[in-house]
Structure 1
């Protein structure tokens, strides 16, 4: 139906398109790209899905170069695939490229009119929300408060994997669901400050994930949203129902936290309540809006953003890394040797991670070879700027091809090969600055002012869980099956066929 609708629109606006193509005009030096039609944009959208745009971009890059433009309806989107051009934009001219595009009608519903960190316009509100997250949750001193929570979640993950291994024929386990639930447990604890029961966590996860995955069905509202809202009324109503369900589950938890904070309950609640993200949100005042507090809707949006940023991305990276360890047993053995030399047979503590250089190299190679997101969220410029001789118009969307930069064969030898050694002494990745402040060699967390503030926490979680998963189990392939590294775009870029592995406990249970 969507393709039919686009064909109808194309026929309606064909006369305008012919006029546009035949009329003389003084074109500015916009980045090159395929021919476009007024109001419709590029016809490539008839053959490619908006949720799987990467094949189209790989086809266009050799033809148009490292910076090119596409039009989706009236929206101009510029794609940058070269790491040096990306550094010029995001670091050398960081302030100019730090804005976000204005949200469309659908997105404004989901981000509370851009009142969250990911989508807020570059200005006081964004600075306030980001500074709050960085200081109250992501500061090293605050991250340390959740160390017991990480050990609790590790136990949850171990029990889940053992149960699945014992129940499966031949011990084969599909691990991704376990990874997602474990990460979500940890993020729920950090967000709401409580170790909730499994059912309550799964209810929160379900409400969050169903809405997140449903957003892929909302791309139809990009074209003429007023008309699309009537044509695709059922999708709009479903989105609103899913949003309301999320609201109904999150708000009681926020109110419980507010009550606890106001009453300053005694020590009997000490084991139940820990420092939380919601605590910090309750303290925020918005100076540009008369000093008011955040609304409950805005807090739901910020909590949802917190889960989105920290769950699927980490679980996806974890699955890719464990898949490489299943395929490359020599890498797994080398990591195990490092683990045993540092921690013996004990659970690995966070302070042990600093003495594991091969583990760190393994995580970096995993993020380079399998970045969970192949694109950053779109940037925008508030005023027309020039980049590499091209005009970047005001309000244009600018995106960066993250995966392509980490696979640049001019920098990385055999870039599609998985080799942690490249990040050890003497390798081409030795001492790489993952923040990209000096130069961009890889940017799995973005670069510049809009770089993901959770970079340090994500790497800590990957190191902690990978090391302990290898210490606890031997990860081997299922007999007769090869690990399939085919990709599939979802919210992140996941394994098309989720990892199946045989898990052999390395020690007896007591």
Structure 2
């Protein structure tokens, strides 16, 4: 109770100070409209950005496509219009490509400058290079074996809570791509444990306060700050031995399983001096980079995979059409392998290129249910004028990705799951937004997710193989609710349950 009393008084004083600063900072400038200063800060400090989203949707009808919320001493502007997003991210990309200052090496959070370019170029030219992706084919096959085994072990029953299996499979793949070798399940679970504990803490209310007011927040929530430091230490204790082991044994792996691991690319990486980060990465820096690699490639892919399968269960006629396309390319499936046994046959990357409807299904799900409803916030590097409003230098910009994918001025019947809408593009839909942003599940412009092509490959690969091997349906008495009211919680809190049966049981000679 005493802590809350201190926090409330602190916030009241902070708001008065902030208001004075803002009056000086924004004097004579017309910011985009939004709620009052006090209400803005209350929303920002007591809610995560996902919890603010329903409120922002209501604000859109009141204030328009640009909404200002004040967070601490700076305005944050929310963009919920695709044409404005195109203007900001493509036409004026350099001005809107920055991030808030970060003291750790990180592609997502690094300022727009030399360090960011080196880190991004390293990931794109090494791990995400087409040759490297091809060398990962055995990784995808091994992870598919793990996923099929886990589904086979639980297919007899009322239903399968698939998100746990999807999360485990995607995390296994991230670990192999990061460290370049298979790890036993115990070691993988250790990594997952420290990663999950840290991620949950970073998204907690207390960390939100600490992040907003670093100096005072560490005093007010000293125990929580120490808990955060302990979680960082736990992560380093698990990951550093794996990094050191990979550095020593990188060349000893069997040729058939030798890949360009992410850690390999970090060892000799030289950061430029311009940003004050010159020199090689330390082991702790590598832990930070591995942390980003895991977080960026696991939850987003697993949740997107669940949304796709949920829609295919909800719409069996689409599942059947997709299955018909798959067997027209690769033929009827073999029996599902027993748990722990490598699949007799899999749909490979070359096969996927011959399946346009599969790609349409994936794109439609990304439009309807993007991996995140907001991309990582951008920061304006110099003052600009937009629609008669002033956006000051240093302003944080948030892009409401989910809203753009449901814009009725761009998409006919946007709430409908209709993959056929993407067949009209003949497999050449501009997901990068260079010609115009219609949806942006991976962001757009200079800070677009560098692994978007890898994500699309993984989604197509696993969807194709899961539909090829099994027919998916809901358990008796259960329905998949994809209504707008709960579309976010379905993926995160109320996972899809499904029954599966081997396709071969329905195939006659």
1:148 to 126, 138, 142: 138
Q: For the Cα contact (< 8 Å) 1:94–1:448, is it kept in 2?
A: yes
What's the offset of the Cα at 1:225?
2.6
- After TM superposition, the structure 1 stretch with the greater mean CA deviation from structure 2, 43-52 or 141-150, is 43-52
What's the offset of the Cα at 1:19?
7.8
Q: For the Cα contact (< 8 Å) 1:82–1:405, is it kept in 2?
A: yes
Q: For the Cα contact (< 8 Å) 1:432–1:441, is it kept in 2?
A: no
1:194 to 181, 204, 208: 181
2:216 to 227, 230, 237: 227
Q: Determine if the alignment matches structure 1 residue 158 to structure 2 residue 148.
A: yes
1:331 to 304, 315, 318: 318
Aligned to 1:30: 31
1:244–1:11 Cα change, 3 Å: closer
The superposition leaves residues 434-466 of structure 1 with CA deviations (integer Å, 9 ceiling, x where unpaired) of 000010000000000000000100000000000
The superposition leaves residues 106-161 of structure 1 with CA deviations (integer Å, 9 ceiling, x where unpaired) of xxxxxxx1311000100000000000000001111110010011001100100011
Mapped partners of 2:277, 2:448: distance in 1: 29
Mapped partners of 1:338, 1:352: distance in 2: 11
Aligned runs of 1:227-266 on 2, under 5 Å?
Answer: 227-261=216-250, 264-265=251-252
1:314 to 301, 313, 329: 301
Aligned runs of 1:377-456 on 2, under 5 Å?
Answer: 377-425=376-424, 431-456=428-453
Q: State the secondary structure of the residue aligned to 1:52.
A: helix
TM-score (norm 1): 0.89
- After TM superposition, the structure 1 stretch with the greater mean CA deviation from structure 2, 14-23 or 314-323, is 14-23
The superposition leaves residues 312-343 of structure 1 with CA deviations (integer Å, 9 ceiling, x where unpaired) of 10000000010011111001100110011101
Q: State the secondary structure of the residue aligned to 2:293.
A: helix
Q: Determine if the alignment matches structure 1 residue 138 to structure 2 residue 158.
A: no
Q: State the secondary structure of the residue aligned to 1:423.
A: helix
Aligned to 2:339: none
The superposition leaves residues 257-309 of structure 1 with CA deviations (integer Å, 9 ceiling, x where unpaired) of 11124xx44xx754665320100001201231585211111101111111111
The superposition leaves residues 193-241 of structure 1 with CA deviations (integer Å, 9 ceiling, x where unpaired) of 0111111111111111111111122112144332221221221111111
Q: For the Cα contact (< 8 Å) 1:52–1:489, is it kept in 2?
A: no
1:500 to 469, 492, 497: 497
Q: Determine if the alignment matches structure 1 residue 279 to structure 2 residue 264.
A: yes
Q: For the Cα contact (< 8 Å) 2:104–2:288, is it kept in 1?
A: no
Mapped partners of 1:474, 1:356: distance in 2: 18
Aligned runs of 1:48-127 on 2, under 5 Å?
Answer: 48-103=47-102, 113-127=103-117
Q: For the Cα contact (< 8 Å) 2:368–2:406, is it kept in 1?
A: yes
What's the offset of the Cα at 1:51?
4.7
Q: For the Cα contact (< 8 Å) 2:21–2:73, is it kept in 1?
A: no
Q: State the secondary structure of the residue aligned to 2:155.
A: helix
Q: How many residues align?
A: 486
Gaps of 5+ in 2: 334-344
- Alpha carbon RMSD of aligned pairs, Å? 2.5
Q: For the Cα contact (< 8 Å) 2:308–2:365, is it kept in 1?
A: yes
What's the offset of the Cα at 1:390?
1.8
What's the offset of the Cα at 1:45?
4.6
Mapped partners of 1:487, 1:214: distance in 2: 24
What's the offset of the Cα at 1:79?
0.6
Q: For the Cα contact (< 8 Å) 1:114–1:121, is it kept in 2?
A: no
